Chains A and B, each alone.
Chain A
Amino acid sequence: MTPGQAEVVVDIGPAGEPSRSEMVPPGEFEISRPPSSQEVVGDRLFRGATLAVAWFTVILVGWIVVSIGRQAMPSIHAYGLHFLQGTVWDANRARFGILPAIVGTLYSSILGLAIGTVFGLAIAIFLSEHFLSSGLEAILRSFGPLEDSWLGSLPDKIENVLKVTIELLAAIPSVVYGLWGIFVVIPFVRPPCNWLHSHLGWIPIFGTGLSGPGLMPAALVLAIMVLPTITAISRDSLVAVPAKLREAAFGMGATRWEAILAIFVPTAATGIFGALILGFGRALGETMALAMLAGNSNVISWSLFSPANTLAALLANHFPEADQIEVGALMYAALVLLAITLIVNVVGTLILQHADAGLKGIR
């Protein structure tokens, strides 16, 4: 050690941070030293705080489950598993069953997710693989050289606008989706649905006509509601496909479609799958739009056009006027909804981990 260095160390110790900028001229080296006691305390405090907040969330979830469970206890005792099999919700006679609501929740969510996935994934590929830019560029090029003109950046800008527009769909309140569904979607889909029913009515999924609210309009609106989630996350994971993979795919002579379908989408599959899980979670819990569109009718039917009920809609509809016994039953229903979302998330996470393990070599 040179004498100069030793001098610096001695000076920094007691004076702390500010003196260092005076001692070390700009552009010079910094000297490593053990953290000061202040830094240690700050570090510990910060770590403690984050730990506390993290635990707080866990405790909060536990607390919610416990308090709902406590209120649901009387009706769990009273109705037991029959509650899950019953098909009648009759507060008047204290008969409660939520099978139609469970079926309706799963049916509408899966249907909505399926439609949302097809469109969401297609949009994500369109946006991430620069289909728009390449198409537009070809057109713009016919007007003259693109370099040095503002036109050159136009395709990217349009692509950005599209992306933001789709993300904006997430900002629309669900009651607005519900109203839009009643006044626009239902009248719009009614004629084709009834045509399907009258011509292909022997297929169970077209077994009834669509009069007004029903599963189909509910699922369509749900699909639009989960679209931003699916599109945004899928696009991000498609963009994140390593460049070396892209180059390798094209270098081996793959066409654009072969590259997308055989290389990019499978590589981004974990991210896309995560998007689906999130979208499914949103669809399961969606309340207002479904309460307005599904029909709130305790019917179990294969038909896509039949009215249905969902757990969240059931809760929203019955809470304000429920008496003590019905509140217990509603809490039980809430617990079931919570369990379904939890199962979906856990299964999703497990599948994700499994898939991630398979992809380790590529990343």
Chain B
Amino acid sequence: MRIVRKLPLLAAVSSACLVLAILGGRLLGEPGFATAFGAEDAVTLQGTGATFPAPLYQKWFTEYNKDHPNVQINYQALGSGAGIKQFQQHLVDFGASDAAMTDEEMAPVKEGVVLLPMTAGAIVLAYNLPDVTTELKLSRQAYVGIFLGKITSWNDPTITKANPGVSLPDTKITVVSRSDGSGTTFVFTSHLSAISDEWKNGPGPGKAVNFPVGVAGKGNPGVSALIKQTPGAIGYVEYGYAVQAKMPMALLENKSGKYLKADLNSGKDALASVQLPENRRAWVTDPANSDSYPIVTYTWLLCYKKYENPKTLDALKSVIKYGLTKGQSFSADLGYIPLPGDVIDADMKALDQIS
């Protein structure tokens, strides 16, 4: 009975909506109105992929949309794996991944794939030791040992050796990893495999590996939350998330034995240590420069070599160009490393392959 009494109201509201919709449709049909609202020549680009660069991409796409109201870009940060999968199935106009596609992954895409490194970022070890106020230094032996489950207490000699004068508590170490498959895990475990044979032959590199110890959270935010809530925890997260969550990050020992903090300079230096090959697929698993932060990665945009729709093609190219030029200036604020000049040049050249 109650519903019945409300029926006239419902009818009134819905008919009002209908009238508005019709009016709106009419107005959109008018040329002047359409340009004002960007309906003329409207292009929508669909993209899916990594969560790691998502904040930066979203920023690019909204800023780009302000200048080019006719181009709408939907980017869904579902993860690198999902990005590659949907790209292979032609469900999207472009994909994104922290792990560049392998040759086998590219094989099913008939028209060919162009991989474009768009930005880069560092992966940090964030920790939760409320009583330790000085910045913690972790040697390579120490952080491999922690993630292998061999070092279980914060006052282990391997850790204290690198931190003279810091009184480390007897707290149990809780390792926090990613429970879902992720590009971040791939980059981190690739680095561990590069510096430790024991890791390489044990858990090994991969998007989801079998971590010997600890607990796991879903996504960068899940890991951040667990670290923040667990005294004695340590885990790997993308630099931007650690900054956002105001978590202390460990200084890591790089290849030449220097302890470095993740920041713009140490990240740039790490990128500079690796020459990008012709196919723009390079892993910075263990940069050799003395001022390089050790865990850094590029992240890629995946594009087809051929696009049927010329409008989509032009819009996509234009967006990518925007990201490579003006877009790079947003990187530092959001915790990403701007691309070196030669990488941008290589990307620009590669754009010509897309037609």
Contacts and interface: CB of A to CB of B under 8 A. Distances in A.
Contacts of A292: 217-218, 222
B81 interface: yes
A275 B315 CA distance: 58
Nearest to A95: B210
Nearest to A212: B230
Contacts of B176: 212
B209 interface: yes
Interface stretch (B58-66, B200-208, B276-284): B200-208
Interface-centre pick from A93, A296, A298 (highest chain B CB count, 10 A) = A296
A317 B178 CA distance: 9
B145 interface: no
B179 A90 contact: no
A271 interface: no
Interface in A47-94: 88-93
B124 to A, nearest CB: 19
Interface string A186-209: 110000000000000000000001
B52 to A, nearest CB: 13
B181 A296 contact: no
Contacts of B216: 295-297, 317
B179 A320 contact: no
Nearest to A294: B215
B204 A213 contact: no
B180 A317 contact: yes
Interface string B190-228: 000000000000011111111000111110001001100
A89 B210 contact: yes
Given A90-B210, A209-B172, A297-B215, A291 B225 contact: no
Contacts of A186: 229-230
B82 A92 contact: no
Contact of B79 (A295, A296, A321): A321
Interface in A83-116: 88-93, 95
B182 A321 contact: yes
B292 interface: no
B293 to A, nearest CB: 26
Contacts of B207: 91, 321
Given A212-B174, A320-B181, 15 more contacts: A89-B210, A90-B209, A90-B210, A92-B204, A92-B205, A92-B209, A211-B230, A212-B226, A212-B233, A307-B215, A317-B216, A318-B180, A320-B79, A320-B81, A323-B81
